[in-house]
Amino acid sequence: MNNKIYIIVGHYGSGKSEFSVNFSKYLLSKNLEVCLADLDIVNPYFRSREVREQLTKLGIVVISDTLNSTKGLDMPYLSPAIQGQIALSKKTIILDCGGDDVGIKVLKQFYHEIIKRDYEMLMIINTYRPQTSNVSQIIAMKDKLEAESGLKITGYINNSNFLRQTTIDDVMNANNIIIEVSKDTNIPIKYVSGIKKIIENLPIEAIGDRLMLDLLLRNDWL
């Protein structure tokens, strides 16, 4: 049986790559075979391919371009191996997309293969980003993402944060907004993600499975 495809989409800077690299490690810990495909051809910095070596050592297959780059490559193309993984492999696949509707244009080429498999398209939300700060903005972003990809969002991820300055209140205020979004769109909140001090202290009212994030893409000094 094929395993799931998780398509991680959302606004620029909402935390797609940081979530994806951590999520790949989480799925690996559930004894799944994991492939992480970095589809971001919009941004040249802070992409999941930067931790290729670290994840590969753990046994995660990381694919982006044919040169297996980590940093510095600013070329808008993807490795054909991504198509191969989606169509032929039985691995659990994470598609880490670029930001906004622009960033998921590249998904279209995989559309016919994706719909043959069990997939989840998860929209990651940081309500402290100025363009996804309230219910109507978030729903407008969701509509754009669905229209561009031709795929339906199946769940939300509350990744609202101010990096290391995040407080529990910040996450809970976001929780309230995303609950409204969830009700209005009839789509569940699947995950709530954050750094250790947040996840360990989240009250029960925070909706979604907890996913603890190590900031793998952000240096300790940054």
* Position 137 contacts another protein (CB under 8 A): no
What is the closest distance, in whole angstroms, from the C-beta atom of residue 40 to another protein in the complex?
Answer: 12
* Position 161 contacts another protein (CB under 8 A): yes
Helices (H), the chain: 16-29, 52-58, 81-88, 100-103, 111-114, 135-149, 168-185, 196-199
Stretch that binds another protein, among 20-28, 42-50, 185-193, 194-202 (CB under 8 A): 42-50
Question: What is the per-residue binding string for another protein in 8-37, x denoting contact by CB under 8 A?
Answer: ----xx------------------------
CA dist 167 and 126 (Å) reads 13
What is the closest distance, in whole angstroms, from the C-beta atom of residue 194 to another protein in the complex?
Answer: 13
**Whether 53 contacts 60, CB under 8 Å:** no
Question: What is the per-residue binding string for another protein in 97-126, x denoting contact by CB under 8 A?
Answer: -----------------------------x
CA dist 202 and 220 (Å) reads 23
State which of residues 25, 52, 91, 129 lies at the interface with another protein (CB under 8 A).
129
Identify any residues that bridge with 191 across adjacent strands, giving them in sequence order: 157, 209
**Whether 166 contacts 209, CB under 8 Å:** no
What is the closest distance, in whole angstroms, from the C-beta atom of residue 163 to another protein in the complex?
Answer: 7
Q: Give the residue among 36, 41, 24 at the shortest CA–CA distance from 214.
A: 24
CA dist 51 and 217 (Å) reads 7
State which of residues 128, 172, 195, 211 lies at the interface with another protein (CB under 8 A).
128
- List phi, psi (to 5°) of 48: -65, -25
* Position 70 contacts another protein (CB under 8 A): no
State which of residues 54, 66, 71, 136 lies at the interface with another protein (CB under 8 A).
71
Rule CB under 8 A: which residues touch another protein? Answer: 12-13, 43-46, 71-72, 74, 126, 128-130, 133, 161-163, 165, 218-222
